[in-house]
A and B are shown apart, each in its own frame.
Chain A
Amino acid sequence: DVQMTQSPSNLAASPGESVSINCKASKSISKYLAWYQQKPGKANKLLIYSGSTLQSGTPSRFSGSGSGTDFTLTIRNLEPEDFGLYYCQQHNEYPPTFGAGTKLELK
């Protein structure tokens, strides 16, 4: 199975700042990396797939980059609603696997 290593596990930032979350695959997954946001009481939301393609409805302050084994989710000009948990998922091969998550907290 492809192991997905996310970093950091926790991240504290203030509204208006920019942050980056990293995801490293144990083998090449081409461009097939997705990012999800998880917030209490809300359905998980797909933000980005295939490395850098924004899902419909994802604000343009979110961006994804990377290929092969190293990927990054960048959020510019943080809004209050951006705080929560973020997970990466490889969608290159079976079984699809997820990172352990990054908790983005308000500083």
Chain B
Amino acid sequence: EVQLVESGGGLVQPGRSLKLSCVASGFAFNYYWMTWIRQAPGKGLEWLASITNNGGSTYYADSVKGRFTISRDNANSTLYLQMNSLRSEDTATYYCTRGAILRIPLGDYWGQGVMVTVSS
């Protein structure tokens, strides 16, 4: 069974950093592109960043480029999102997702999400 389990969320002050993790199981992690998507409270879904299966290429939304870094550890089937210079508008539930079609992210499996609250 495919499982994606996010962790690392919590309450953080503006300007501080946080690193999210997503542990994958039930599939060959190193074969798949992976993506982070977020959803602010009561809002829609926003694509943030994607990484190719071997980690050789990364793609970012303009809203997080330069502040967030996506990475992966294929040996441990784990996806990461390093978030720096956090702002109140980064408050959201963060989801990791699996998959892409023709090099464009398409989430065929999603984690349950982890909440990040940026507030003083």
A residues bordering B, Cβ < 8 Å? 32, 34, 36, 42-46, 49-50, 55, 87, 89, 91-101
CA distance A42 to B59 in the complex (A): 27
B26 at the interface (CB under 8 A from A): no
Question: Which chain B residues have a beta carbon within 8 Å of chain A's beta carbons?
Answer: 4, 44-47, 59, 61-62, 95, 97, 101-102, 104-112
Closest B residue to A98 by beta carbon equals B45
CB distance from A36 to the nearest CB of B (A): 7
Contact yes or no, B45 A89, CB < 8 A: yes
B residues less than 8 Å from A94 (CB atoms): 59, 104
B residues less than 8 Å from A91 (CB atoms): 101-102, 104-106
- How many angstroms between the C-alpha atoms of A93 and B100 in the bound complex? 12
What chain A residues lie within 8 Å of B44 (beta carbons)? 87, 98-101
Q: Most chain-A Cβ atoms within 10 A of its Cβ — which of B4, B44, B47, B109?
A: B44
